[in-house]
Chain A
Amino acid sequence: MITSNKIKTWHLVVVFCGISWFWLQYPTSISAQSDYSLSVYPPSAYLKIKPGTTANHTIELTNTTTNTIVVTPKVFDSKPEEDSGYPEMQPTFSFPYLSEQVQKMSPILIKPGETNSFSLDFTVPPEAITREYPLTVLFSSTIEQANTTNQVVSNSKLYGVIGANLVVLVSSDETLPNLLQVVDIEVPRLLDSLRGLSFTPMLINQGVQTVVASGSATIVDTFGRTVFQAQIYPDMILGRQQRSARALTTQKDSKLPEPTVFSYDPLFLLGKYTITTKIIDGQGNSSSSHTKTVIALPYSFLIVVLFIIIGWVFSRVFATNTSPD
Chain B
Amino acid sequence: MNLSNPTHPQMVLYGFFGTLLVLILICLSSQAVYAETLESNSFIIQFGNFNVTSGEKSSTTYNVTDTVGQTGAGPYGEFGTASYFVGGGFQYIYPIDQFRFTISKTDINLGQLTAQAHNTDTNVLTITAPTAGGYQIYAYEQHPLKLLNGIPTIPDTTCDNNDCDQTTAEIWQNTDVGGFGFNVNGDDTAADFINTNYFRQFANNALSEPMQVIMSNTGYVVNRAATVTYKAGLFGSEPAGTYETSIVFVAVPAY
Q: Mark B149-164, 1 if CB is under 8 A from A, else 0.
A: 1000010000000000
Contact of B241 among A46, A62, A153, A216 (CB under 8 A): A153
Interface membership of A116, Cβ < 8 A:
no
Using an 8 Å CB-CB cutoff, how does the interface string of B232-246 with A read, 1 for contact, 0 for none?
A: 101000111111111
Residues of B within 8 A of A233 (CB): 132
Partner of B253, one of A55, A163, A246, A264: A163
Least Cβ distance of B135 to chain A in Å? 8
Q: Name the distance in Å between A272's Cβ and chain B's nearest Cβ.
A: 13
Q: Is A182 an interface residue (CB 8 A)?
A: no
- Give every chain B residue within 8 A of A257 (Cβ-Cβ): 38, 62, 64, 93, 219-220
Interface residues of A in 82-104 (CB under 8 A from B): 84-87, 89
Asked whether A234 and B74 contact (CB < 8 A) given A44-B253, A257-B64, A268-B23, the answer is: no
Q: By CB atoms of chain B within 10 A, which of A53, A146, A175 has the most?
A: A146
Report chain B residues within 8 Å CB of A270.
24, 27-28
B230 at the A interface (CB under 8 A): yes
**B30 to chain A: which residues have CB within 8 Å?**
227, 266
In B186-224, the 8 Å CB interface with A consists of: 205, 208-211, 216, 218-222
- Measured CB to CB, the closest approach of chain B to A20, in angstroms, equals 7
**Docked complex Cα distance between A42 and B38 (Å):** 25
B251 lies within 8 A of A161 (CB): yes
In the assembled complex, how far is the CB of residue A201 from the closest CB belonging to chain B, in whole angstroms?
A: 14
Q: Which residue of B lies closest to A319 (CB)?
A: B1
Per the bound structure, the CA–CA distance linking A86 and B132 in Å amounts to: 11
CB contact list, A153-201 vs B, under 8 A: 153-167, 169, 174-175, 178
Taken residue by residue from 45 to 76, chain A's Cβ proximity to chain B (1 for < 8 Å, 0 otherwise) reads as: 11111100111110010101000000000000
The answer to whether residues A48 and B252 also contact, given A62-B98, A157-B106 and a CB cut-off of 8 A, is: no
Q: Looking at the complex, which one of A64, A175, A212 makes contact with B89 (CB distance below 8 Å)?
A: A212
B16 touches A146 (CB 8 A): no
8 tightest A-B contacts by CB? Answer: A282-B73, A85-B133, A214-B90, A284-B68, A255-B40, A43-B99, A12-B210, A212-B89
